[in-house]
């Protein structure tokens, strides 16, 4: 678990659950993205029917999130969420944004938005940080089991579209996905702001487009699995 998000985490899963989830995440990291997508098509649980996507751009206003110099996670997350919004709306889905500008939304308010709509999914978009300056790649988190397949679809397409290292699908107790109980909920980490190579890429609109396309493709493919 990255230290930056430690304040959002509580109620760690039991050791047996941790072992099972880590085993599954390791298995997925070893699969090529293309093979992983094919495996999902034949083995992932069917998606619940939904027509609304609640997009949650992490942080905002005084909460910059991960930051190096003038590169702030709050800006990257919002820009990426807006790009995902446009792609999903073109695909015919209704999109609700927890924030559409640089404002701070408390964690309970974000989870409340995730629970407000029936026939919906909740996707929280973030960028990662490692205090040592290392770390690389994308990873996707879920808390409730009904969010696992959604996280797996998004992770597969995100890695496939961007070429980022596959850090896998992981179980974690982030507030927004733990407290979103009505609908499948996931939190996506779209690369490391602290990694100079990834930071240079994510600062370009082209790469953020690729990230958005991967997330959107994962959501649409998950929906089609119903």
Domain membership of residue 137 (yes or no) is yes
Domain membership of residue 14 (yes or no) is no
* Nearest-angstrom CA–CA distance, 151 and 11: 20
SS3 of 132, please? coil
pLDDT at residue 214 greater than cutoff 50: yes
Domain membership of residue 165 (yes or no) is yes
> Which secondary structure element, helix H or strand E, spans residue 188, and what is its range?
strand 185-192
Domain membership of residue 6 (yes or no) is no
Domain membership of residue 17 (yes or no) is no
Domain membership of residue 104 (yes or no) is yes
pLDDT at residue 106 greater than cutoff 60: yes
Domain membership of residue 118 (yes or no) is yes
pLDDT digit string, tens, across residues 130-175: 988 779 999 999 999 999 999 999 999 999 999 999 999 999 999 9
Q: Which residue intervals of 54-204 are DSSP H helices?
A: 73-90, 107-116, 148-162, 175-178, 196-202
Active site residues: 189
- CATH number of the domain to which 92 belongs: 3.40.630.40
pLDDT digit string, tens, across residues 188-204: 999 999 999 999 999 99
**Residue ranges making up the domain that contains 71:** 33-42+49-224
Domain count, the chain: 1
């Amino acid at each position: 678990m990255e230290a930056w998000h430690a304040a959002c985490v509580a109620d760690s899963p039991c050791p047996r659950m941790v072992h099972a989830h880590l085993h599954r995440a390791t298995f997925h990291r070893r699969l090529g993205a293309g093979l992983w997508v094919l495996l999902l098509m034949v083995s992932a649980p069917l998606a619940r029917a939904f027509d609304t996507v609640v997009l949650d751009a992490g942080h905002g206003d005084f909460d910059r999130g991960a930051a190096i110099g003038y590169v702030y996670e709050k800006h990257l997350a919002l820009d990426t969420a807006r790009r995902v919004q446009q792609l999903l709306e073109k695909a015919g889905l209704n999109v609700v944004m927890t924030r559409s500008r640089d404002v701070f939304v408390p964690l309970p308010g974000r989870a409340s938005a995730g629970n407000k709509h029936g026939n919906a999914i909740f996707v929280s978009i973030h960028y990662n940080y490692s205090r040592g300056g290392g770390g690389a790649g994308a990873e996707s988190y879920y808390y409730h089991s009904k969010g696992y397949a959604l996280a797996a679809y998004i992770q597969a397409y995100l890695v496939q579209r961007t070429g980022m290292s596959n850090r896998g699908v992981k179980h974690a107790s982030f507030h927004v996905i733990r407290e979103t109980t009505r609908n499948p909920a996931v939190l996506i980490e779209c690369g490391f702001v602290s990694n100079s190579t990834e930071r240079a890429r994510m600062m370009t609109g082209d790469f953020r487009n690729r990230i958005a396309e991967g997330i959107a493709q994962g959501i649409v493919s998950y929906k089609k699995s119903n």
